[in-house]
Amino acid sequence: MNPDIILSIRNLKTRFFLDEGTAKAVDGVSFDVSRGQVVGIVGESGCGKSVTIKSILGIVQKPGEVVGGEIFYRRRDDGVQEPINLRDLDDRGEEMRDIRGNEIALIPQEPMAALSPVHTIGNQLIEAVRLHRDVSREEAANICIARMGEVGISNPEERMGVYSWELSGGLRQRVMIAMALVCGPKLLIADEPTTAIDVTTQAQVLNLLRRLQKEQNLAMIFITHDLGVIAQIADYVVVMYLGRVMEQGPVDDIFHNPQHPYTSALLASIPTIHSGTREELPTIGGSIPHPFNRPKGCPFYPRCPGFIPGKCDRFTPVPSPVSDKQSVACFLHSDAAEETE
Amino acid sequence: MSEKSVLLEVKGLSKFFPIRSKGLRRKIIGQVRAVDDVSFSILEGETLGLVGESGCGKTTTARCIMRAMTPSGGEILFRKGDGSITDIAFMSERELFPIRGDIQMIFQDPYASLNPRMNILDIIGESLLVIGGIKDREKRSQRVGELLELVGLRPEYMQRFPHAFSGGQRQRVVIARALALNPRLVVADEPVSALDVSVQAQVLNLMLKLQDEFNLTYLFVAHDLSVVKHFCDRVVVMYLGKIVELAPTEALFQAPKHPYTSALMGAVPEADPRRRADMVPLEGEVPSPANPPSGCHFHPRCPHATDLCAKEAPAFEEHAPGHFARCHHVAELNLSGVQD
Amino acid sequence: MSSETLSPDQNLPEEADAISVAPNWKLVWWRFKKHKLAMISGIIVIFIVIIAAFPGFFSTQDPSESRTRGSFIPPQAIQFWDNGPALFAYAIEGKRNPRTLKMEWITSETKKVPLRLFGRGYEWEVLGLFKTDIHLLALVNPDDPPVHILGTDRLGRDQWSRVLHGTQVSLSIGLLAVFLSTIIGIVLGGISGYFGGWIDMFIQRLIELLQSIPPIPIWLALSASLPRTWSVTQGYIAITAILALITWTGLAREVRGRFLVLREEDFVVAAKLSGCSQLRIVFRHMVPTMSSHIIAAVTLAIPVMIINETFLSFLGLGLRPPAISWGVLLQEAQNLQSVALAPWLMLPGVAVIITVIALNILGDGLRDAADPYH
């Protein structure tokens, strides 16, 4: 493993065993995250982007289960030591708990759901610090105040004493970012952190995240369904559809040289602020199937303009490189197929 | 502009929600001015966009026009099919009944706007039965079949229940319901923001196609400027219950006259990694409409604010043909719009 | 016209059709079927309801017939095997202990009382329509001594038959009281939730008032005010009404809450825009959406009613003998002496426990199944 890579996901498979059947929520996902890199995972509902990060954090809930693959992670203290496989750790064990929140931190989509309404912001932040650091309350409070200042919260000392419901949506999200950063994590995972807030506030939060990431040389996984947001923040993009990676590569290649029919169709179909008024948009036909009814073969074939009958609906393409950094899972590029089970 | 007739005119519309005290007597101690003295008109066959962030009053305005709620003041003048103009702002439910078919709505959340206990035939056929007076089920199902085909769904689906459809398909059902009685004005409240990216374009295209086919007039409520740019002929920008700018789409996006509009455009994350440096975020957040700032509501966040802005509320004035803005400094400012 | 943008066939596979056209009650039923324990409880409840409808058929003896020389007979087991399939019970003989002067009942291993299925016995009325003397279990020879499956009480009445007849009374009081309280609850809760304003204020304060009164004293007061001279039927109706009048408040609150939520739902606004009248909105859109929740709430309310009735009657404040209900039967087990002497007098309590548990699990299953969209 390249020493810059701190997280390497190989062939991750997570399934949900429900009465209606088994849903392959994440089906053979692989990607790497390097130091100081922002990896954006973009996809629509049911694509498995959220389940992927839950699998990494070991917080997949029943009836879901990680059934295959490896999650290699390089812990901070041992530079020489080989990366460990997070799947070998007990999800509720001490080591995993130490990694989660301390080394790998999460910024959730809904700060209101993640913050307790009956404790002050300060108490929750101090609690988060003292969970992973052996410091006194005063020291912890100082760390928190410093972090709150860093994320652009004015009067941090005063704000320590308020409750989450007294804050605006943008401030709450800043508090969540401060909380994620209090322990100085190595990897930050942001799960649609700007979906629930207004456009002008979203711009502020994105700027903040970009600044913090640069300053601290953080590795970050950023999840969103919004192609605009991903273009603004990611260095490297993973495009997912129905549990599989369709395409991945550097952000500029994905947006300016997309190779997978899904990526290019998706990019063409969104109206941009530069597009002309009342032009008919190119569309992707049909709608996303339910994860239980995932088509056999390539999951995108029923909606794909480049569908090859007898091939795409029978075999599942696997990612194969189109350049040294970009890879695509599509029979238009390579015949590489998954062995049938 | 004068060749098109005005279909709907809103004059001084306002909607206040009382703030009550916590005690037993629940005395009214204040008011949220959700919509405050809003005036605009919608021309026959055009699409008027209504944009703004949360709390700006765009949805409340739309619901007042729909008469899903009763406004606190103002006039809503609607040109009926026979050419006569009536004020529907304070009409009773009975007086509204004959107009209900003329003004219909497309909702934001296609999961919440279809009754899960009714099948598609009953959902779309309800207004045909209640307002259209088509008592014969056979005739109703024929019309529902036509409507389903119109929105790109198979007529056989009318026996199905909403749970059998995806979000995009449900939104098509909602559109079919809105079209059932050949409405003249369709209010679309964020019709695509709850849909998956890959199906948004389908729904937008469908709405455009139907507009051409039936000469529909749309009031398009949205927070996403890209969609508004794509879809609307003219745009109204709202901030804290007031209109801050109103202009034809091209003019607005090329040369906005209000600093808020310009900031809103700057905040749109563009789907192009090569255009990153442009983003200049606005300071602060939208204040609570229960306690709006003095003078110009936007002054605490405005990069161009002066003492005058804090003291005096600016007037809503026409600065170019059809281009109105509510700002003291339109003449001095040279705001950036969308650069190509 | 829109063929290139749409290909609906791919998205709705035909095999999903059954689900696609399934109305809500079917979805509820499909979901409910997966809840094994609730299904078993449902079957038990159906059995109990059948017993409650035809207690005479399952009885072996007239529940009111007393035999002075047959008090406190212990339960007798039914035998199914006698060198081959058979149906009989060993006769039981009483001997007075010469020292304690107590009757002691000894099963005789030699004397058999033959029984048969669907035999003739005492005459009973089928749902008050006509009379018959067919019973599930009857003596082959009418002159044989009667067989007491659950023993007899102080007055020598057959407890098995009494428990079955008690099932009819207790269950029907529960159902009727819940039915009444449901109607009051839905009407008042609906009015409160839909109209709001001062009507809502008034009804909410009334509910709070009723809920703030401790239930036991108010029951005691109401029951004590019933004239002693009232007949069994009058007492039955009065107890049902008392139970209903006190328990409607919970359901009314639930209905009101759902109305408040539903009123803001987009599909209700859409119905208004489709020109629907208030009445049509309430009955075509709002009530059906709540129906499954109401059914679940009602199912969960029945066991509470049964417990309440049993409790009142046990204290002698509900139904009074000669009425037969589980509470009245348990009154017999009130003193320690008779419990020590004849522990089988507590068996009606087992009937109460089985019924209440089955109804509770059934209600839980219904509640879980009620929201297939969750």
CATH number for the domain spanning B142: value is 3.40.50.300
**Pairing mode of beta strands B234-239, B47-51:** parallel
Residues 6+ apart with CB under 8 A from B39: B9, B10, B11, B12, B13, B74, B243, B316
Report yes or no: A45 at the C interface, CB cutoff 8 Å.
no
Q: Please give the structure tokens belonging to residue C74.
A: 């212990």
Residue from B218, B230, B280 to probe the interface with A (highest A Cβ count within 10 Å): B230
Q: What is the pLDDT of residue B102?
A: 93
In chain C, what are the domain boundaries?
43-51+162-370, 76-147
What mean pLDDT is predicted for residues A67-80?
79
The count of residues in chain C is: 374
Asked if the model's pLDDT at residue B136 lies above 50, the reply is yes
Q: Please give the structure tokens belonging to residue A13.
A: 């498979």
DSSP assignment letter at C346: G
Cross-chain Cβ contact B100/C275 below 8 Å: yes
Distances (CA, A) of B63 to B13, B48, B58, B123, B186: 12, 15, 9, 21, 12
Angle at A326 between CA A325 and CA A331, to 5 degrees: 145
Question: In whole angstroms, what is the distance from residue B139 CA to residue B137 CA?
Answer: 5
The single-letter code of the amino acid at C363 is: G
Q: What average pLDDT does chain A have?
A: 89
Tell me which fold the domain C43-51+162-370 belongs to. Answer: MetI-like fold (1.10.3720)
Least confident of B23-32, B123-132, C159-168: B23-32
Nearest CA in chain B to A202: B267
Per the listing, tokens 């004059």 go with B11
Q: Tell me: the pLDDT tens digits for A145-169?
A: 999 988 888 888 888 999 988 888 8
Q: Are A327 and A320 in contact (CB under 8 A)?
A: yes
Asked if the model's pLDDT at residue C16 lies above 60, the reply is no
Q: Tell me: the pLDDT tens digits for A211-247?
A: 999 998 999 999 999 999 999 999 999 999 999 999 9
> Which positions in chain A touch C5 (Cβ < 8 Å)?
283, 285
Cross-chain Cβ contact B265/A273 below 8 Å: yes
Handedness of CA B176, B177, B179, B184 (dihedral sign): negative
What mean pLDDT is predicted for residues B241-247?
95
Q: What average pLDDT does chain C have?
A: 82
Q: Are C31 and C369 in contact (CB under 8 A)?
A: yes
Report yes or no: A226 at the B interface, CB cutoff 8 Å.
yes
Nearest CA in chain C to A269: C5
Which of C4, C8, C11 is closest, CB to CB, to A289? Answer: C11
Question: A121-132 and A137-150 are packed helices; what angle lies between their axes, rounded to 10 degrees?
Answer: 110
Q: Are A45 and A290 in contact (CB under 8 A)?
A: no
How distant is the alpha carbon of residue C75 from its chain centre? 25
The single-letter code of the amino acid at C278 is: Q
Per the listing, tokens 């990060």 go with A53
Asked if the model's pLDDT at residue C6 lies above 70, the reply is no
B253 shares a domain with B143: no
Q: Are C78 and C67 in contact (CB under 8 A)?
A: no
pLDDT band for position C145 (cuts 50, 70, 90): confident
Tell which wins on pLDDT, C206 or C219: C206
CB atoms within 10 A of CB B201: 25
Question: In whole angstroms, what is the distance from residue C164 CA to residue C186 CA?
Answer: 32
Tell which wins on pLDDT, A45 or A82: A45
Asked if the model's pLDDT at residue C139 lies above 70, the reply is yes
Q: Could you give the ipTM of this predicted complex?
A: 0.87
Q: Are B258 and B244 in contact (CB under 8 A)?
A: yes
Order of strands across the sheet with B242-248? B103-106, B185-189, B217-222, B47-51, B234-239, B242-248, B323-326, B316-320
Which of helix, strand or coil describes residue A11?
A: strand
Q: Tell me: the pLDDT tens digits for A101-152?
A: 888 999 988 888 888 889 999 999 998 899 888 899 999 999 999 999 888 8
> Which positions in chain C touch B114 (Cβ < 8 Å)?
267, 270
Listed in sequence order, the DSSP H helices in B238-295 are 249-254, 259-267
Which of helix, strand or coil describes residue B13?
A: strand
Question: In whole angstroms, what is the distance from residue B165 CA to residue A289 CA?
Answer: 10
B209 shares a domain with B86: yes
B55 shares a domain with B190: yes
**Pairing mode of beta strands B47-51, B217-222:** parallel
Q: Please give the structure tokens belonging to residue C178.
A: 């819940």
Is residue A73 situated within a structural domain?
no
Q: Please give the structure tokens belonging to residue A16.
A: 């949900």
pLDDT band for position C337 (cuts 50, 70, 90): confident
B264 shares a domain with B219: no
Q: Are A239 and A246 in contact (CB under 8 A)?
A: yes
Which of A168, A199, A287 is closest, CB to CB, to B199? Answer: A287
Asked if the model's pLDDT at residue C13 lies above 70, the reply is no
Tell which wins on pLDDT, C190 or A51: A51
C337 phi and psi, to 5 degrees? -60, -50
B285 shares a domain with B205: no
* Residues belonging to chain C with any Cβ–Cβ distance to chain A shorter than 8 Å: 4-8, 10-11, 13, 16, 34
Per the listing, tokens 């759901």 go with A113
Cross-chain Cβ contact B112/C19 below 8 Å: no
What mean pLDDT is predicted for residues C111-122?
84
- A76-79 contact pairs (CB < 8 A, 24+): A76/A103, A76/A186
Residues 6+ apart with CB under 8 A from B65: B8, B10, B76, B103, B187, B219
CB atoms within 10 A of CB C371: 15
> Which positions in chain A touch B153 (Cβ < 8 Å)?
none
Question: In whole angstroms, what is the distance from residue B43 CA to residue B216 CA?
Answer: 10
Q: Please give the structure tokens belonging to residue A203.
A: 């711009």
Asked if the model's pLDDT at residue C226 lies above 60, the reply is yes
Q: Tell me: the pLDDT tens digits for C24-51?
A: 778 888 888 888 899 999 999 999 999 9
Is residue A123 situated within a structural domain?
yes
Nearest CA in chain B to C270: B113
Q: What is the pLDDT of residue B23?
A: 64
Q: Which residues pair with A296 in a beta bridge?
A: none
Distances (CA, A) of A203 to A69, A164, A174, A195, B265: 36, 21, 13, 11, 11
Residue from C1, C2, C11 to probe the interface with A (highest A Cβ count within 10 Å): C11
Q: Are A163 and A152 in contact (CB under 8 A)?
A: no
Is residue B35 situated within a structural domain?
yes
Question: C159-195 and C36-53 are packed helices; what angle lies between their axes, rounded to 10 degrees?
Answer: 110
Percentage of residues of chain B with pLDDT beyond 90: 66
- Domain extent for B279: 248-340
Q: Tell me: the pLDDT tens digits for B157-184?
A: 899 989 888 889 999 999 999 999 999 9
B89 shares a domain with B146: yes
Question: In whole angstroms, what is the distance from residue B131 CA to residue B126 CA?
Answer: 8
DSSP assignment letter at A120: B
Asked if the model's pLDDT at residue C357 lies above 90, the reply is yes
Q: What is the pLDDT of residue A97?
A: 87
What mean pLDDT is predicted for residues B217-221?
96
Tell which wins on pLDDT, A282 or C216: A282
Q: What is the pLDDT of residue B258?
A: 94
Least confident of A81-95, B226-240, B273-287: B273-287
Q: What is the pLDDT of residue C319?
A: 79
Distances (CA, A) of C47 to B139, C40, C179, C355, C359: 47, 11, 20, 10, 12
B157 shares a domain with B295: no
Q: How many B×C Cβ pairs under 8 Å?
A: 99
Q: Are A306 and A283 in contact (CB under 8 A)?
A: no
Q: Tell me: the pLDDT tens digits for A311-331?
A: 898 899 999 999 989 999 999
B200 shares a domain with B145: yes
Asked if the model's pLDDT at residue C331 lies above 90, the reply is no
Which of helix, strand or coil describes residue A219?
A: strand
Subunits close to C (at least 3 CB pairs below 8 A): A, B
Domain count, chain A: 1
B213 shares a domain with B323: no
Q: What is the pLDDT of residue C2?
A: 35
Q: Which of B222, B239, B256 is the last residue of a domain?
A: B239
Dihedral of CA atoms A192, A195, A198, A199 in degrees, nearest 10, equals 70
Q: Which of B239, B262, B293 is the last residue of a domain?
A: B239
Nearest CA in chain C to B151: C2
Distances (CA, A) of C282 to C25, C187, C271: 19, 11, 10
Q: Are C241 and C312 in contact (CB under 8 A)?
A: no
Question: In whole angstroms, what is the distance from residue C301 CA to residue C366 CA?
Answer: 13
pLDDT band for position C3 (cuts 50, 70, 90): very low
Handedness of CA A106, A107, A109, A114 (dihedral sign): positive
Q: Please give the structure tokens belonging to residue A7.
A: 């997280």
Q: Are B51 and B243 in contact (CB under 8 A)?
A: no
Question: In whole angstroms, what is the distance from residue C15 CA to residue A191 CA?
Answer: 36
What mean pLDDT is predicted for residues C323-336?
83
Q: Which of B188, B217, B239 is the last residue of a domain?
A: B239
Distances (CA, A) of A227 to A31, B238, C54: 19, 26, 69
Q: What is the pLDDT of residue C372?
A: 53
3-state helix vs strand vs coil in chain C, percent to 5? 60, 15, 25
The count of residues in chain A is: 341
Question: In whole angstroms, what is the distance from residue C168 CA to residue A286 CA?
Answer: 58
Is residue B1 situated within a structural domain?
no
Q: Which residues pair with A22 in a beta bridge?
A: A17
Asked if the model's pLDDT at residue A300 lies above 90, the reply is yes
Q: Tell me: the pLDDT tens digits for C364-373?
A: 888 888 765 5
CB atoms within 10 A of CB B54: 16
Angle at A281 between CA A277 and CA A282, to 5 degrees: 160
Q: Please give the structure tokens belonging to residue A116.
A: 């307790």
Q: Tell me: the pLDDT tens digits for A14-48?
A: 999 887 778 899 999 999 999 999 999 999 988 99
Q: Please give the structure tokens belonging to residue A184.
A: 């100085």
Q: Where are the beta strands (DSSP E) in chain B?
A: 6-20, 28-43, 47-51, 73-79, 85-87, 103-106, 185-189, 217-222, 234-239, 242-248, 316-320, 323-326
> Which positions in chain C touch B108 (Cβ < 8 Å)?
266
Question: In whole angstroms, what is the distance from residue B77 CA to residue B100 CA?
Answer: 14
Asked if the model's pLDDT at residue C8 lies above 70, the reply is no
- Domain extent for A139: 111-184
Tell which wins on pLDDT, B235 or C90: B235
pLDDT band for position A78 (cuts 50, 70, 90): low
Q: Tell me: the pLDDT tens digits for B78-121?
A: 998 888 999 999 999 889 998 998 999 999 999 899 998 899 99
Question: How many Å from the N-terminal Cα to the C-terminal Cα in chain C?
Answer: 36
Question: In whole angstroms, what is the distance from residue A86 CA to residue A56 CA?
Answer: 8
pLDDT band for position C374 (cuts 50, 70, 90): very low
pLDDT band for position C261 (cuts 50, 70, 90): confident
